[in-house]
Chains A and B, each alone.
Chain A
Amino acid sequence: MSKELHEHICSESVFEGVYNKYAKDLHDFLYYKYGAESNPNDITQDAFVKLWDNCKNVSFSKAKSYLFTVANNMVLNAIKHKKVVLKFQQTKPKSSTTETPEHVLEQKEFLKRYQVALSKLTEDQRVAFLMNKAEGKKHAEIAEFLGVTRKVVEYRIYTAFDKLKQELGDFKLK
């Protein structure tokens, strides 16, 4: 028997640590993968409820994969797969910039097309790409978090970028 079996997570302070460590990542992962429609916030909460109910059976080191499996299954049970359309937030131009209305409009048009392009990526591509480029996570972090090698993450990001570039190709001329 390994020592691991004893380090369960039932104490509140340990559990709080697990929560703070994984809640946001789990939420973001669900969001990028399945979109806001899947209620990433509720699913995250429910996954942690389940984890706490089973805290005696789940060791600290298994907590992450437990959470991801549980959350993933919940989503798959809850939603029929449809296209994931992520909302965007246009950054407000600073009051002092010389941005023309045309430029603001063009940027909005670009983001709309970007939105469509994102929905055409595979789930894996979208998760890896946005975790890196929207969330600013390092490749190694994402790899650890998804349980795949860094090479795989890099490949997903690269292919995602490539596909986005193709989809958005006609904006290059502007």
Chain B
Amino acid sequence: MAVDKDQLIEKWLRDDLSESEKLAFSQLEDADFNEKIVEAAKAFRASNQSKTESFQSFKDAYAVKSNKKTFRLNTFLKIAGVFVVGIGLYLLTLISNGDTTFETSIAEKLNFKLPDNSEVALNAQSQVTFNENTWNDKRLVNLIGEAYFKVEKGATFDVLTESGTVTVVGTEFNVKQRNKMFLVECFEGKVRVLASGEDELLEAGDSFRLINGEISKDTTVNTQPDWTTNKSNFERIPFSEVIDELERQYEIEIRLQDVENSRLFTGGFPHENIESALIAITKPMNLTYKILETNQVVIHGQDQ
């Protein structure tokens, strides 16, 4: 061979192989392995994990920072200004409070649209509030419970929950905030999640979980949340949350006997058939259930 092996690899690394050298390179005994190493580098691309802000959000952040800096110069004026603006806003809300609220009760689901035509599907026992009058200045949606958002391309708004904020950039995602559980799944585009001091950017297929103060990131293979197709699925979720969800989907009251409700449950149940739902959640946990009259269900531990 005219060129030695190391030289070939060097040239290959700078994309500088001639046709004949390419052939020689492909005949190296570890040619495939060389290709594999370079190919694998793509899995570590920065943009998979972390990204820069657009210039617009840089400007916004800059405005906030520089405001803080000049605050001391004319504190009095600023404070006076804040009062004037505050009183103004207060009066404005007195005159017209354009809050719109959508609410679902137990075993109910609801679809509606936001002022920017984004679609929202609301799961059982949940509530979404937004203000139509101030929508153009302040795109805020308050959420209690669980909802699936299908956002128009280019639209942005923030979803506020008790546990954290989700910022939207033209995308599809599900937010679930119940008790100590906060779950965001992104199905398309990107969303940004701010919760308990963390700032995470989710891309399609990512999910974010905050359960009892513990954060974990995972992936989802779904293209929409299961509950929109009348199923509930769980992955390593405390059993008590699963029971709560069951109570939300059927008008029943569940009592647990000798069941450790912090055990983690993986599995799901359908929304249309109470019997199969109960089997689906008790069987894998080695539990038994009994349906009493008046919509009461008891779930027992096996040992008793």
Contacts and interface: CB of A to CB of B under 8 A. Distances in A.
Contacts of B45: 89, 130, 134-135
B53 A133 contact: no
Interface string B33-45: 1101110111111
Given A23-B58, A26-B52, A89-B43, 10 more contacts: A27-B51, A31-B46, A44-B52, A48-B58, A49-B61, A86-B49, A110-B40, A118-B44, A134-B41, A161-B9
B48 A154 contact: no
B169 to A, nearest CB: 15
Interface stretch (A3-11, A56-64, A96-104, A163-171): A163-171
Q: Which of B41, B49, B205 has the most CB of A within 10 A?
A: B41
A168 B37 contact: yes
Contacts of A23: 52-53, 55, 58
Contacts of A86: 44, 49
Interface in B6-55: 9-10, 13-14, 30, 33-34, 36-38, 40-53, 55
Interface in A96-123: 110-111, 114-115, 118
Interface residues of B, number: 31
A52 B65 CA distance: 12
Contacts of B51: 27, 41
Interface in A135-171: 135, 139, 154, 157-158, 161, 164-165, 168, 171
A73 B156 CA distance: 35
B83 interface: no
23 contacts: A16-B55, A19-B55, A23-B55, A27-B51, A27-B52, A28-B46, A28-B47, A41-B50, A44-B52, A49-B65, A87-B49, A91-B43, A92-B205, A110-B36, A110-B40, A114-B43, A135-B46, A154-B13, A161-B9, A161-B37, A165-B33, A165-B37, A172-B30
Nearest to A118: B44
Interface of B: 9-10, 13-14, 30, 33-34, 36-38, 40-53, 55, 58, 61-62, 65-66, 205
A154 B47 CA distance: 23
A129 B37 contact: no
B52 A24 contact: yes
Interface string A25-53: 01110011000100011001100110011
A49 B37 contact: no
Given A27-B50, A41-B52, A130 B44 contact: yes
A83 to B, nearest CB: 15
A69 interface: no
What size tier do the contact residues of chain A reach?
35 or more
Nearest to A131: B46
B70 to A, nearest CB: 12
A20 interface: yes
Nearest to A86: B44
B257 to A, nearest CB: 40
Contacts of B52: 23-24, 26-27, 41, 44
A53 B140 CA distance: 31
A90 to B, nearest CB: 6
Nearest to A115: B44
B44 A52 contact: no
Would you list the 5 A-B pairs with minimal beta carbon distance, nearest first?
A: A133-B41, A31-B46, A88-B43, A89-B48, A27-B52
A36 B46 CA distance: 9
A44 B61 CA distance: 12
Given A24-B52, A27-B52, A165-B37, A154 B10 contact: yes
Given A27-B46, A89-B48, A154-B13, A129 B41 contact: yes
Given A45-B58, A161-B9, A87 B48 contact: yes
B267 to A, nearest CB: 21
A32 B51 CA distance: 12
Nearest to A172: B33
